[in-house]
Amino acid sequence: MHRHDDAIEELTRAVVRYSVERMAMETPPLDAPRTPAELQDLVGPTITAAGIGGQRALEVFADVLAPACISVDHPRFLSFVPAAPTEASMLFDLVLGASSIYAGSWLEGAGAVFAENETLGWIASLAGLPEGAGGVFVSGGTAGNLSALIAARWHWRHLADGAHDRTRGLMITSSGAHSSVAQAALAMDADVMAVPADERGRLDGAALRATVSALDPSDLDRLFAVIATSGTTNAGVIDDLASTADVCAEHQVWFHVDGAYGGAGLLAPSIRDRYDGIERADSFIVDPHKWLFAPFDSCALVYRDPTIARAAHTQHAEYLEVLQGADPLDVPWNPSDYAHHLSRRARGLPLWFSVAVHGTDAYIEAVETTLTVTREAAALVREAPHLELIMEPELSIVMFRRVGWVREQYQVWSDHQLATGQSFVTPSSWNGETILRICIVNPLTSADDVQAIVDSLREEPDG
Ligand SMILES: *Cc1c(COP(=O)(O)O)cnc(C)c1O
């Protein structure tokens, strides 16, 4: 099992061949889920005392399991937030998998961590954070938000010098914030208060200031973080970061910016000014597995002052002491010290490799391409008599309604699109109304793809 014998050599070739063929597909089949009973019927038991063998296990994956997973990189996968990893990033995921690197500590993973940190430095510079900013790649935005907010709370308690060690913390965000913020509050046993968003779903400084001014002194005392979103996952709008940063500065409260989806837009000169104020963030996240063309799973978490995060997150144990170094002022950069985790894959490396291969200009161009197609998509919706655009897109999300339809009609249409392999567009809602929402992060998605979807919405669905 641990030796590279002839059978494993043969399996290696089969696995690499499968991977190359999947990557070389012009357009992968969209595919669709199956029920557990269907899969049970098709697959049968695969975990057995004797094993089913490499060829058979690969066959089961290729013929049954993989087709029961929707291809997230299909150009008409436009639900949720799709993913469109570059070929180079996927290839390097294979290399990483073959390399047995522990990337939790500098001692064990120095080379990998060095390259991840250069990549994080590039991301920090896009946001305009100062020299010295740094952090770590974690599994996703949910983990990134939680880790940043734990650091924020540690800082608040540290400044209070013990007075707040048992005080329940409070954070403020907008009603457009991602569900993971409320989940972080639950995990931390903290409270979260939502400021009413404006008509497009954005947080602005005036509304935030009004909410903060209305807090009674004991609540103001337990306020430890404000979370802005750049941009929101449903509508793709960016909070007013500069005026939010002003209020945070007035009250000396940690300013966290959640750019899990939209942070990649920092690359695009055509929209860069919408992020003004992000350079004042105490912490910031962006998911390379969303709009930065890297494979799952990956979130870049960056802190203005990483020493705060290190104080909040470093795990202490007899067997780990050796990782911290003898001189407390010269601690090696251990990625495990900057988030709620210990062991980790060097999940920033697929992004690093692809950016190193293609250069940052190619990334600027790819993000601008998706923005151009989004503008074309909005125009197609605007011109279609059976559709109504809900708002002009700010990033790469288009929300619209099909005139006259209710929830079931949207769902029947959506199910039919998936079942026939045409597109994957699920209903969402806006102010309580069922609507459609498409999110374009794949540079291979074209206006023609959107046109096909617009046309398919003309007819009333049967059923
Ligand atoms: C997707 C998203 C998250 C959660 O990220 P995961 O990687 O799915 O955990 C958090 N915030 C925003 C704004 C998002 O779009």
Which CATH number is 371's domain given?
3.90.1150.170
Same domain, 339 and 371: no
> Residue 98 above 60 pLDDT?
yes
Cβ partners under 8 Å of residue 65, min gap 6: 39, 43
Kindly list the distances between the CA atom of residue 85 and the CA atoms of 208, 305, 373, 399, 441, in Å, as whole numbers in the listed order: 37, 30, 18, 24, 10
The answer to whether residues 250 and 373 belong to one domain is: no
Same domain, 180 and 301: yes
Q: Which amino acid type is present at position 334?
A: N
Same domain, 105 and 231: yes
Which atom of ligand 1 approaches the CA of 180 most closely?
10
**What single DSSP character describes residue 50?**
S
State the pLDDT at residue 462.
63
430 domain-assigned? yes
424 band by pLDDT with thresholds 50, 70 and 90? very high
User: What's the pLDDT tens digit per position in 99-156?
Assistant: 999 999 999 999 999 999 999 999 999 999 999 999 999 999 999 999 999 999 999 9
Q: What is the 312 CA–ligand 1 centroid distance (Å)?
A: 22
Structure tokens belonging to residue 58: 């690969």
297 CA → ligand 1 middle, Å: 11
105, 243: one domain: yes
Statement to judge: residues 297 and 417 lie in one domain? no
Give per-residue pLDDT as tens, 178-229: 999 999 999 999 999 999 999 999 999 999 999 999 999 999 999 999 999 9
Q: How far away, in angstroms, is 127 Cα from ligand 1 center? A: 18
Helices (H), ranges, 333-431? 349-358, 360-383, 407-419
- Do 168 and 284 fall into the same domain? yes
* Helix, coil or strand: residue 135: strand
The reported pTM is 0.98
Protein residue closest via CA to atom 5 of ligand 1: 141
Q: Residue 52 to residues 18, 19, 46, 137, 345: CA-CA distances in angstroms?
A: 18, 21, 6, 36, 28
**Looking at residue 238, what DSSP letter applies?**
B
Return the residue whose CA atom lies nearest to atom 10 of ligand 1: 141
* Alpha-helical regions (H) of 64-178: 87-97, 106-127, 141-159
Instruction: Kindly report the protein residue whose alpha carbon is nearest to atom 3 of ligand 1.
Output: 141
261 CB near ligand 1 (under 6 Å): yes
Q: Report whether residue 142 contacts ligand 1, using a CB cutoff of 6 Å.
A: yes
Same domain flag for 52 and 193: no
Collapsed DSSP state (helix, strand, coil) of residue 101:
coil
Q: What is the pLDDT of residues 112-126, one digit of tens each?
A: 999 999 999 999 999
How many CA atoms, within 13 angstroms, populate the side-chain half-sphere of residue 291? 33
Burial 190-224 (b: 16+ CB within 10 A, else e): bebeebebbeebbbbbebbbebbeebeeeeeebbb
The percent of residues above 70 in pLDDT, for the chain, comes to: 99
Residue carrying the six token digits 């940052």: 360
Tens digits of per-residue pLDDT, 437-462? 999 999 999 999 999 999 999 988 76
Q: 144 and 103: one domain?
A: yes
**Cα–ligand 1 centroid distance for 59 (angstroms):** 33
Which of 180, 232, 299 to mutate to test ligand 1, by most ligand atoms within 8 A of the CB atom?
A: 180
Q: Are residues 182 and 256 in the same domain?
A: yes
Is 140 among the domain residues?
yes
Q: Is the dihedral of CA 422, 426, 430, 434 positive or negative?
A: positive
pLDDT tens-place string over residues 9-19 = 999 999 999 99
> In the predicted model, what is the mean pLDDT of residues 18-42?
97
Range of the domain at 419: 360-456
Tallying the residues shown for the chain, one arrives at 463
Atom of ligand 1 nearest to the CA of 177: 13
Q: Which pLDDT does position 304 carry in this prediction? A: 98
Could you give the number of structural domains in the chain? 3
**Is 233's C-beta closer than 6 angstroms to any atom of ligand 1?**
yes
229 pocket-lining for ligand 1 (C-beta < 6 Å): yes
| Residue 239 CB–ligand 1 contact under 6 Å | no
- 370 and 332 in a common domain: no
463 falls within a domain: no
Same domain? For 371 and 432 the reply is yes
168 and 191 Cβ atoms separated by less than 8 Å: yes
Ligand 1 binding pocket includes 287 (Cβ within 6 Å): yes
Say if ligand 1 is within 6 A of residue 141 CB. Answer: yes
* 388 phi/psi in degrees, rounded to 5: -135, 125
Q: Which atom of ligand 1 is nearest to the CA of 140?
A: 7
Which ligand 1 atom sits nearest the alpha carbon of residue 261? Answer: 15
